């Protein structure tokens, strides 16, 4: 029988005369009796050999294990799913991408609670995976640390640096005869050069930055690139640190405070973060009983200077941001706008990390006095078309389109809209409306990246788009998403007809359908809820449990 101090959860598995079976199993896989006295650390490895965002994680996990062993812990690796959004664009697969967030968080909870781990290192990258890891850590409230997989290096083509989202825009140029098929294929060979998440301020890198500012990673982790030695060192250091956190009795809830979430939102707004953080940050906070609303985003964004123009909103890459000093340097420039007293898994406060940082390129990370804009990346629009809110990445909109009024062109799916755009049926000044793509109606709130990329690639930059679906972090232009309530739940977007005038006023924070109230009432009386697009499987359950986009599209019973 093993005897030890009962300070680790894992004693429930290995201690006592009636625990001979588990001890035998552990000996079978190579553990020595004395190792069963040490803390058991679960390593969540979201490795997948199908896409570069997770292709390299097995290597990182080896370094995590080395750190755990060195600190006196015993690592146990297990996996979960990891979807690449890029494979799912403009097809049924995208219906599963946002819902996968809940599957990942649930699967981690089930494994950790069943196997009684003492602590966790959560290793992953890409859009829904990082939020899911943070949700699981918050829900379990066990000692935990996140290791984000890191961005890929930018691709090079034609003498400049590119990111993969530009391939979709290139498809639009090909359609217009501005690019040859051979040139497109050459770009394909160049724009995803190494392992890592896409080299842009998309959702993956936005949420990695959020994880770092929340204090759930070691300093510098978010922008340490996947192929760099720095990332391997951070992985090993994270493995070492988790054992210290277990022995100290650390809980994520001690650092994941409301103020920490506000810090994370502010940094995301300063760096041109993805609209998808409006879904993920409230979902993480929900696990802790903290409510984060769209009004919180609006208040913080409107008072946050825009300091770093990273692709797709500007010319700089994630490598430029890393070389300039990464998240610590950005926090240093934000200075008193952040709550520097917030703690992190490193043992340092946000203020201490920022104070020790150096901005190595003041053009990539500007100071407040030289900000690109006095406001952050996202703006929350409300009005009769979105009484509970909608979102636009205002920093990626041309000044001439910040206020736009035009006739609606209505489509009930992304596929219909894509066909119309490629077919040349969209006119300058139109407002494309894509509906029945929300959390319930999609189902799964698909991204409209293909549609928005076609618009940019075909030069239709004076065309706006409004949807109850969502966008990739790569999206740019006068496009408004997350319209709430969605069409499938009776939202006004479901009553828009071709030719209706729609007003998008980003400075005024308005999204309005300019139709008389009597006419709206007439249409509403004739509206009937659509039949769900699926009638079995996970998405059927998802439709019945998922909340509105303005609440984070979380699952509620």
Residue list, annotated binding site: 85, 127-128, 447
Task: Quote helix, strand, coil % in the chain, to nearest 5.
Answer: 45, 15, 40
- What are the tokens at 461? 């930059």
Which residue positions form the known binding site for Mg(2+)? 85, 127-128, 447
Compute the Cα dihedral for 247, 251, 257, 261 and give only its sign: positive
Q: Which helix (H) or strand (E) holds 180?
A: none
Out of 472, 484, 547, 548, pick the active-site residue: 472
Q: Exposed, middle or buried, 340 (CB in 10 Å: 0-12/13-18/19+)?
A: middle
Say if residues 242 and 68 touch (Cβ distance below 8 Å). yes
Strand, helix or coil for residue 544: helix
Helices and strands, number each (H, E), in the chain: 20, 14
Give CA angle at 123 (122, 126), nearest 5°.
Answer: 120
Q: Which helix (H) or strand (E) holds 555?
A: none
Whether 373 sits among the annotated catalytic residues: the reply is no
**Residue 403 bridge partners (DSSP):** 505
Interatomic CA distance for residues 302 and 77, integer angstroms: 43
Interatomic CA distance for residues 239 and 92, integer angstroms: 38
In total, the chain counts a number of residues equal to 557
Q: Which residues contact 522 (CB under 8 A, 6 or more apart)?
A: none
CA-atom Rg of the chain in angstroms: 24
Query: What single DSSP character describes residue 45?
Result: E
Strand, helix or coil for residue 69: helix
Outline where 142-221 has alpha helix (H). 165-175, 181-190, 203-213
- What are the tokens at 411? 């489509």
Residues identified as active-site: 472
């Amino acid at each position: 029988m093993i005897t030890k101090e009962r300070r680790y959860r894992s004693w429930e598995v290995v201690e006592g005369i009636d625990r001979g079976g588990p001890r035998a199993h552990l000996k079978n896989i190579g553990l020595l009796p004395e190792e069963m006295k040490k803390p058991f650390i679960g390593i969540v490895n979201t490795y997948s050999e199908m896409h570069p965002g997770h292709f390299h994680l097995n290597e990182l996990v080896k370094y995590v294990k080395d750190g755990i062993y060195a600190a006196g812990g015993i690592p146990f690796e297990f996996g979960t799913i990891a979807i690449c959004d890029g494979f799912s664009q403009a097809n049924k697969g995208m219906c599963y991408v946002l819902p996968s967030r809940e599957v990942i968080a649930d699967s981690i909870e089930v494994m950790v609670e069943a196997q009684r781990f003492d602590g966790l290192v959560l290793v992953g990258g890409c859009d829904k995976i990082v939020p899911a890891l943070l949700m699981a850590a918050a829900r379990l409230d066990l000692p935990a640390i996140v290791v984000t997989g890191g961005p890929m290096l930018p691709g090079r083509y034609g003498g400049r640096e590119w990111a993969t989202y530009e391939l979709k825009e290139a498809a639009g140029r090909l359609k217009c005869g501005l690019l040859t098929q051979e040139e497109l294929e050459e770009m394909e060979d160049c724009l995803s050069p190494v392992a890592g998440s896409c080299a842009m301020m998309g959702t993956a890198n936005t949420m990695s930055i959020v994880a770092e500012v929340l204090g759930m990673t070691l300093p510098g982790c978010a922008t340490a690139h996947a192929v760099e030695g720095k990332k391997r060192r951070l992985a090993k250091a994270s493995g070492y640190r988790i054992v210290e956190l277990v022995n100290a009795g650390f809980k994520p809830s001690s650092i994941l405070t409301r103020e920490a979430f506000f810090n994370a939102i502010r940094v995301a707004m300063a760096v041109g973060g993805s609209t998808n953080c409006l879904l993920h940050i409230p979902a993480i906070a929900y696990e802790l009983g903290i409510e984060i609303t769209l009004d919180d985003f609006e208040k913080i964004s409107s008072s946050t200077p825009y300091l770093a123009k990273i692709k797709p909103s500007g010319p700089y890459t994630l490598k430029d941001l890393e070389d300039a000093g990464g998240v610590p340097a950005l926090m240093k420039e934000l200075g008193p706008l952040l709550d520097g007293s917030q703690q992190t898994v490193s043992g340092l406060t946000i203020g201490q990390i920022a104070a020790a940082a150096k901005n190595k390129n003041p053009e990539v990370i500007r100071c407040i006095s030289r900000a690109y804009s006095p406001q952050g990346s996202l703006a929350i629009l409300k009005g009769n078309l979105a009484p509970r809110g909608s979102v636009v990445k205002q920093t990626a909109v041309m000044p001439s389109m910040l206020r736009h009024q035009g006739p609606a062109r209505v489509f009930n799916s992304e596929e219909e809209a894509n066909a119309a755009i490629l077919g040349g049926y969209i006119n300058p000044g139109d407002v494309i409306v894509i509906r029945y793509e929300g959390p319930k109606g999609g189902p799964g709130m698909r991204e409209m990246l293909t549609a928005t990329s076609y618009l940019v690639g075909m030069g239709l930059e004076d065309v706006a788009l409004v949807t109850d679906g969502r966008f990739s972090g790569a999206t740019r232009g006068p496009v408004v998403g997350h319209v709430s309530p969605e069409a499938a739940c009776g939202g006004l977007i479901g009553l828009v007809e071709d030719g209706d005038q729609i007003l998008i006023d980003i400075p005024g924070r308005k999204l309005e359908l300019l139709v008389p109230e009597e006419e709206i009432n007439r249409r509403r009386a004739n509206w009937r809820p659509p039949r769900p697009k699926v009638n079995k499987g996970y998405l059927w359950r998802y439709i019945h449990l998922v909340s509105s986009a303005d609440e984070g599209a979380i699952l509620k019973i």
